[in-house]
Amino acid sequence: MKIVAIIQARMGSTRLPGKVLRTVLGKPMIKYQVDRIRHSSYLDEVVIATTDNRKDDVIVDFCKSEKLHYFRGSEKDVLSRYHQAAKKTEADVIVRLTADCPVIDAQTIDHVIKAFVTNKHVDYVANVLERTYPRGYDIEVFTRQTLEKINKVACRNSDREHVTTYIRDHPEQFDIVNVLHHADYSNYRLTVDTIEDFRLIKKIIQSLEPKNQYYMLEDIIKLLENHPDWLTINANIKQKGWR
């Protein structure tokens, strides 16, 4: 069973263009993410799924410099991009990640993957259906067969753009498992969608990375508990809905 992490990435973010290649300590955000998830015990491959747009040539250049596999496809039809990337890599299981989560850790990814591989008949495992993990720790795991099914039947623009909304809206068609953290960290925002988000993530990386590049979620929580004022940096940011 080949397990492949497919990270969707593009330069054309509406709220913070070029965010995936913004640097902290001289290193692009997407490299932090890739380096951290490569520490996973389950992943066989990491692939960047970017777009055909010329502005995303720089992401391809990054992939080449890092010897990372990549796939280019439709910007708006992200579902088809995932489907084609999965076919190209011959993935049996897809771990869906987005490139705005630079501090996500391999331990959390492995926790969600383990929930998938230990449930023989499951189609879709995620930690986002009932949220206890922070924003920025979103992980979805599903079979290639599930991806092929939704690629055939999903017609709404929102389903094509957000990849897995068809599964969430039709739970009767799938065997679904949601993974919970033992503590509720859902009020923390560790994703990067705005300049305020980036400022918080920059502080986190600058504080933790020099000591240990494989720091865990609990290390981030402890840091933020010691610096509660940091949470005000992006406290007013509203998450964009998937509808």
Report, as an integer, the average pLDDT of 94-117: 97
Residue 181's identity, in one-letter code, is H
Instruction: Indicate the pTM of the whole model.
Output: 0.95
Mean pLDDT score of the chain: 96
**Residue 50: DSSP 8-state:** E
Determine what percent of the chain is predicted with pLDDT higher than 90.
95
Joined together, the tokens standing for residue 5 give: 């992490």
- Report pLDDT digits (tens) over 127-185: 999 999 999 999 999 999 999 999 999 999 999 999 999 999 999 999 999 999 999 99
Predicted local confidence at residue 242, as pLDDT: 52
- Report pLDDT digits (tens) over 38-64: 999 999 999 999 999 999 999 999 999
Domain range for residue 133? 3-232
Report, as an integer, the average pLDDT of 20-24: 97
In a domain, 121, yes or no: yes
How would you classify the pairing of strands 69-73 and 93-98? unpaired
In a domain, 240, yes or no: no
Give the whole-angstrom CA distance, residue 116 versus residue 179.
10
For residue 243, pLDDT over 90 is answered with no
In a domain, 114, yes or no: yes
Residue 20 sits at φ, ψ, to 5 deg, of -65, -20
Predicted local confidence at residue 47, as pLDDT: 98
Residue 93 sits at φ, ψ, to 5 deg, of -130, 135
Q: What is the CATH number of the domain that holds 204?
A: 3.90.550.10
Q: What is the band of 240 on the pLDDT scale with cuts at 50, 70, 90?
A: low
In a domain, 243, yes or no: no
In a domain, 238, yes or no: no
C-alpha 222 chain-centroid distance: 22
In a domain, 237, yes or no: no
Predicted local confidence at residue 241, as pLDDT: 61
Give the whole-angstrom CA distance, residue 88 versus residue 69.
10
Give the whole-angstrom CA distance, residue 81 versus residue 88.
11
- Report pLDDT digits (tens) over 170-202: 999 999 999 999 999 999 999 999 999 999 999
Of residues 161, 136, 135, the one with CA closest to residue 243: 161
Q: What DSSP letter does each residue of 4-37 carry, written as one string?
A: EEEEE--S--SSSTTGGG-EETTEEHHHHHHHHH
Q: How many domains does the chain have?
A: 1
In a domain, 239, yes or no: no
In a domain, 85, yes or no: yes
